A and B are shown apart, each in its own frame.
Chain A
Amino acid sequence: MSGTELRPATAPPVPARPKPVARKVRRTYWNEPEMGRWESVYLLEVIRGLFITGGVFLRNLGRYMIGRKGAVTTYYPEEMRPDYAAGNRGKHVLTQRPDGSPQCVACNMCATVCPARVIEIEAAYDPTDPAHPKSPARFEIDYSRCIFCGLCVEACPEDAIRMVKDVPDLPRADRHRMWLGKEELLAWQPARDVAKPYPPRGASPEDTR
Chain B
Amino acid sequence: MMQDLLVHAVYIAYAFAVLLGMGTILTWVERKQGALMSDRIGANRAYVRLPFTDVRLVWIGLFHGIADGLKLMLKEDFRPASYDAFAYALAPWVVFTPVLLVFAVVPFGGALVPAELFAWWPALAAWFGERSYQLQIARLDAGLLIVFAFGGLTVIGAMLAGWSSSNKFSMLGALRAGSQMISYELVMGLTVLGLILIYGTVDLANIVREQSGLLLGWLPAWGVFLQPFAAVLFLTAAMAENRRTPFDLPEAESELIAGYFTEYSAMKMGLFMFAEFIEIAVIAAIFSTLFLGGYNLPYMHDGGFSLPGGTEIALAHGTVVVLQLLTFLAKVMFMSSFQILVRWSLPRFRYDQLLRFAWKFLFPIALANLVVTAIAVWALQGFQ
| Contact of B39 with A56 in the complex, beta carbons under 8 Å | yes
Interface check A53, CB cutoff 8 A: yes
The total of chain B residues at the interface (CB under 8 A) is 16
Q: Is B17 an interface residue (CB 8 A)?
A: no
Do most interface residues of chain B lie in helix, strand or loop, or is the interface mixed?
A: helix
User: Nearest-CB distance from A106 to chain B (Å)?
Assistant: 40
B37 touches which of A43, A53, A64 (Cβ 8 Å): A53
Contact-size category for A: 10 to 19
Which residues of chain B in 355-373 are interfacial with respect to chain A, using CB atoms and an 8 Å cutoff? 357, 361
Which one of A42, A43, A52, A73 lies within 8 Å of B39 (CB-CB)? A73
Report which A residues bind B (CB closer than 8 A).
42-43, 46, 49-50, 52-54, 56-57, 60-61, 64, 70-73, 75
Known interface pairs A43-B232, A49-B346, A71-B41; A54-B36 also in contact (CB < 8 Å): no
Provide the bound-state CA to CA distance between A70 and B40, in Å. Answer: 8
Residue numbers in A under 8 Å from B341 (CB-CB):
50, 53-54, 57
Q: Is the interface of A mostly helix, strand, loop or mixed?
A: helix
Residues in A with CB closer than 8 Å to B346 are: 46, 49
CB nearest neighbor in B for A60: B36
CB within 8 Å of A: which B225-256 residues: 232
A-B contact pairs, 30 of them (CB 8 A): A42-B357, A42-B361, A46-B345, A46-B346, A49-B346, A50-B341, A50-B342, A52-B345, A53-B341, A53-B344, A53-B345, A54-B345, A56-B36, A56-B37, A57-B33, A57-B36, A57-B341, A60-B36, A60-B37, A60-B39, A61-B36, A64-B36, A70-B36, A70-B39, A71-B35, A71-B39, A71-B41, A72-B39, A73-B41, A75-B41
Q: Is the CB of B40 within 8 A of A73?
A: yes
For residue B228, give the distance in angstroms from its CB to the closest CB of chain A. Answer: 12
Residues of chain B having any CB pair with chain A under 8 Å: 33, 35-41, 232, 341-342, 344-346, 357, 361
Contact status B361-A50, CB under 8 Å: no
B41 neighbours in A (Cβ, 8 Å): 71, 73, 75
Q: How far is the CA of A75 from the CA of B232 in the complex (A)?
A: 39
Closest Cβ–Cβ distance, residue B348 to chain A (whole Å): 14
Q: What residues of chain B lie closer than 8 Å to A49, measured between beta carbons?
A: 345-346
**Which A residues are in CB contact (< 8 Å) with B39?**
56, 60, 70-73
Which residues of B are found within 8 Å of A61, using beta-carbon distances?
36
